[in-house]
Amino acid sequence: MASRYHDVYKRWQDDREAFWGDAAREIDWIEAPGKIFAKTAGPHGQWMYEGVCNTCYNCLDRHVERGRGDQAALIHDSPVTGQKKTFTYSELLDEVSLFAAVLSDFGLARGDRAIIYMPMIPEAVIAMLACARLGAIHSVVFGGFAASELATRIDDAGPKLVISASCGIEPGRVVAYKPLLDGAIELAKHKPARCIIYQRPMAPAALTAGRDHDWARLLADARRQGKKSACVPVAATDPLYILYTSGTTGQPKGVVRDNGGHMVALKWTMRNFYGVDPGDVFWAASDVGWVVGHSYIVYAPLLHGCTTILFEGKPVGTPDAGVFWRVIEEHKVSVMFTAPTAFRAIKKEDPDGALVADHDLSGFKALFLAGERADPDTLVWAEDKLGVPVIDHWWQTETGWAIAGNPLGLGLLPVKHGSPTVPMPGYDVRILDDECNEVAEGETGAVSIKLPLPPGCLMTLWRNDARFRESYLDEYPGYYKTADAGYKDADGYLYIMSRTDDIINVAGHRLSTGGMEEVVASHPDVAECAVLGIADKLKGQVPIGFLVLNAGVARDPGEIEAETVKLVREKIGPVAAFKTALTVARLPKTRSGKILRGTIAKIADGEDYKMPATIDDPAILDEITATLKKAGVGSFAN
Ligand code: COA
Ligand code: AMP
């Protein structure tokens, strides 16, 4: 089939408002938007202006009203607990309206915030949708973050309540959430009035009298009393959620997503980009704590009337590297979405793909990868073993959906390995130099999006328009700065090569090395430090730290290194995967005192590097090389 992509992209270019106005007809509005785009509203315009709607209604009620009630909406498949549970659309609607009534009784109303700190259990999805039903703003915090990260988010969002579970399950260990939650509330200046705790039998938590409430008991009481909450009408431009993501400092950025534009954009992607129809089974193997989980475990599949899968497991070890194929076969998955790192993990365990042959994947149509650059080796391996299109697509927490990709629904374009293909309608992507001029084809520059951003992208940063402007709009006037570097080829294909800031991507998780530096620098024996990302065969990148100790410190440097590793795990969380710290006598710097992190990373990765013209003392690079060699780190690993 010839791709319709070029026609559709042109239709969008010719009349953007008409394009998104058409897409908006797929959504049920309480009041249709007065203006599809209001240029002067908010820091950079707002979509679906003056519309009134409810996201939960569009995800659940309308499907039940139109006969989809008995179809599976959510399948929880949990190899780490051995449990599987299916909710039909009717059942999910019942649970969500019941839990919304509980939240409403606790005073949660339109515009109030609730933090959700939960593992991959159905209650996390129920809590998100219940907030949406009430017009309350949820902020989901990933379970792999430590107490102080949770505290930072509590202080920024100012939630009325926190919804959590007693524990999460990681292979080989139970992660008790309650002590982390208690620690976070202790640290936070803002004290949420109430916590609702879902007790899991693997590690029930002690509840704090007066503040903590048992999920199951609250629900049983509400059910007995026949409570249910109706959908609260909200402005299309009201926030649906805040999702914190790493910025260039330890202070995360609170990405704010609206209700109306978000629904319109996500619904459009399901058929046109992912090529799925209502009733199909869609599986995003991610976590509800990340944007992929928000968009493609919860909202988009439900908006489209699909069955979505909530997978509580890992690509390997739960129990083996065949679990993805088992899930695809058992639940008749049509399209799957995950991060390349998951496939690298599978490839490492089962290089010949022998476990694929044990399963009937005849209903499987395509695999989508995002979260980090899909390396051509992994792509080719997956194509070869699965025999379906494997599609890399590029996006960010900020955009909420793909900026560029190969649209299966519109018809695939020729694949070029290493490129996430072309910009989606909505995105006018330009490659700029430092003076904000477009660079020539094939030349690397700052990948930028000409304003306005399409529906579904961030509205602003929570209560911080100034940081929003400064982070994304000020550097290239008239453009959104993606902070990715890359280039476009003669066919308009994009190549996204690296970040231009201190963000690294570890196993598809976005982390700030600046944030880690702040923690390492807080160690009393550390005079200064540098944390940077180096290449890793499995995780894409991993952080390593270089420490310069205070003069006169007589302790064993190995002990101090181990303490900084422990500190990062305690302060940021295990997800940071900070396992290597190396003591050095000095750090390489420019004459103006900037640490040459990029050059150190190149040395560690075994790449060629140019001696920076402004380097203060070139001999320090030899010292760094010797330290890396001695420790057997990066390209010096044995
Ligand atoms: N709660 C608590 N701890 C968590 C956690 C959670 N929800 N998720 C991860 N962790 C912990 C892990 O147990 C691990 O701890 P350890 O240092 O004690 O081993 C640490 O955080 C690092 O986790 P991770 O980076 O996920 O590595 P891993 O070794 O556990 O697994 C992969 C590696 C590749 C199998 C795994 O990262 C994976 O499947 N990633 C998928 C990526 C993904 O979903 N990305 C989201 C965007 S699409
Ligand atoms: P996150 O906000 O966690 O989704 O991370 C967004 C960042 O991940 C982007 O800015 C890119 O640096 C990187 N990224 C995500 N998807 C891709 C991709 N397909 N190719 C290259 N980089 C990607």
Q: Using a 6 Å cutoff on CB, does residue 533 contact ligand 1?
A: no
**Cα torsion angle, 431, 433, 435, 439, sign:** negative
**pLDDT per residue as tens digits for the range 404-455:** 999 999 999 999 999 999 999 999 999 999 999 999 999 999 999 999 999 9
Rounded distance from Cα 575 to ligand 1 centre (Å): 6
Kindly give the distance from the C-alpha atom of residue 605 to the centroid of ligand 1, in angstroms, as a whole number.
23
Rounded distance between C-alpha atoms, residue 379 and residue 367, angstroms: 10
| Angle, CA of 8, 304 and 496, to the nearest 5° | 50
* 394, 398, 458, best to mutate for ligand 2 pocket (most atoms within 8 Å of CB): 394
| Ligand 2 pocket member 345 (CB < 6 A) | no
For the record, the structure tokens of 529 come out as 């430090």
Taking only the tens place, the pLDDT of each residue in 42-101 is 999 999 999 999 999 999 999 999 999 999 999 999 999 999 999 999 999 999 999 999
Residue pLDDT, tens place only, 581-615: 999 999 999 888 889 999 999 999 999 988 888 88
Q: What distance in angstroms lies between residue 266's CA and the mean position of ligand 2's atoms? A: 18
Quick check: CB of 307 below 6 Å from ligand 2? no
Distance 38 CA to ligand 2 centre (A): 29
- For 502-546, give the DSSP string: SEEEETTEEEEHHHHHHHHHTSTTEEEEEEEEEEETTTEEEEEEE
CATH number for domain 507-636, candidates 3.40.50.300, 3.30.465.10, 3.30.300.30, 3.40.50.720: 3.30.300.30
pTM value is 0.95
* pLDDT value for 613: 84
Judged by its nearest atom, the ligand closest to the C-alpha of residue 243 is 2
Place of tokens 């064993």: 556
434: CA distance to ligand 1 center in Å? 36
Closest ligand 2 atom to residue 498 Cα is: 12
Nearest CA to ligand 1 atom 5: 144
How far apart are alpha carbons 288 and 76 in whole angstroms? 13
Average pLDDT, the chain: 96
Gap from CA of 5 to ligand 2 centroid (Å): 22
- Give the tens place of pLDDT for each residue, 165-184: 999 999 999 999 999 999 99
- 612 burial level (CB within 10 Å; 0-12, 13-18, 19+): middle
Instruction: Answer yes or no: is pLDDT of 250 > 80.
Output: no
Domain boundaries, the chain: 5-313+393-486, 507-636
Q: Distance between CA atoms of 579 and 497, rounded to whole angstroms? A: 25
Cα 436 to middle of ligand 2, angstroms: 22
Q: Residue 612: which residues within 8 A CB-CB, separation 6 or more?
A: 590, 596, 599
Residue nearest to atom 23 of ligand 2 (CA): 372
Rounded average pLDDT over 497-509? 92
> Can you tell me which residue has the tokens 């409810």?
54
- Ligand located closest to 124 CA: 1
Ligand number, closest to the Cα atom of 318: 1
5-313+393-486 is classed in which CATH architecture?
Answer: 3-Layer(aba) Sandwich (3.40)
Question: What pLDDT, in 10s, does the model give residues 441-494?
Answer: 999 999 999 999 999 999 999 999 999 999 999 999 999 999 999 999 999 999
- Is pLDDT of 13 > 80? yes
